[in-house]
Amino acid sequence: MDENKELVRRLFDSVFNDRDLDLCDDIVATDYVEHAIAPFGGEEPGDVIGPEHMRNVVTWLVDQYPDMTMRIDSIVSEGDTVAARVWSEGTNLGKLNGVVPPTGKRFAGQQTHWYRVEGGKLAEHWAVRDDLGTMLQLGILNLPGPPA
């Protein structure tokens, strides 16, 4: 298996799913660029301290969705780039983004995560998520139209 793909698999399997936050030091570069914007966010985090940032992301997600799981459905790599199609699901039991009261509802959906690998570590990240679908599933937003 491609070493770069293995890094991404370890991130999802061990860090996100098993909550092994210590592993971030081994697989995430200190000089890390984050392009993913949080739901309701306005800008990319940009240059961050990678291992610390990744631990914070996992903690932030688990605070909102304590039973969250992320499953890689497919993964490809070319050169220093790895792309993974991920199925995520969980129950919203904590404040969404620390602001919106928990709904107690589940969400499930696909995401794609793109990583650039440098020096054997994850060094840059982009994400494409269906935040609208998630907000609809959680009841945060409703479809427009006449009342039911």
Q: Which domains does the chain have, with CATH numbers?
A: 3-135 (3.10.450.50)
* 24 has pLDDT over 90: yes
Residue 41 pLDDT: 79
Residue 148 pLDDT: 60
Beta-bridge mates of residue 87: 71, 110
- Cα distance between residue 114 and residue 126, in whole Å: 5
Beta-bridge mates of residue 47: 33
- Both tokens of 104, joined, read 């107690």
Write out pLDDT tens, residues 35-94. Answer: 999 887 788 899 999 999 999 999 999 999 999 999 999 999 999 999 999 999 999 999
Residue 84 pLDDT: 98
Entry pTM: 0.93
